[in-house]
Amino acid sequence: MKYFFLAEGWTYGRVWEFGGLWNQSLWMRSPEITKLDCAIMQKEEILWLYQVEDAVIMIEVYPESPESQPTIGQVVLKRLISAEQAIEMLHQAEKLLKYLP
The domain limits of the chain are: 2-98
Global confidence as pTM: 0.86
- Reported as a single tens digit per residue, the pLDDT across 17-58 is 999 999 999 999 999 999 999 999 988 899 999 999 999 999
Integer Rg of the chain from CA: 14
Cα(50)–Cα(32) distance, integer angstroms? 10
Residue 71 pLDDT exceeds 90: no
Residue 72 pLDDT exceeds 80: no
* pLDDT confidence of residue 101: 63
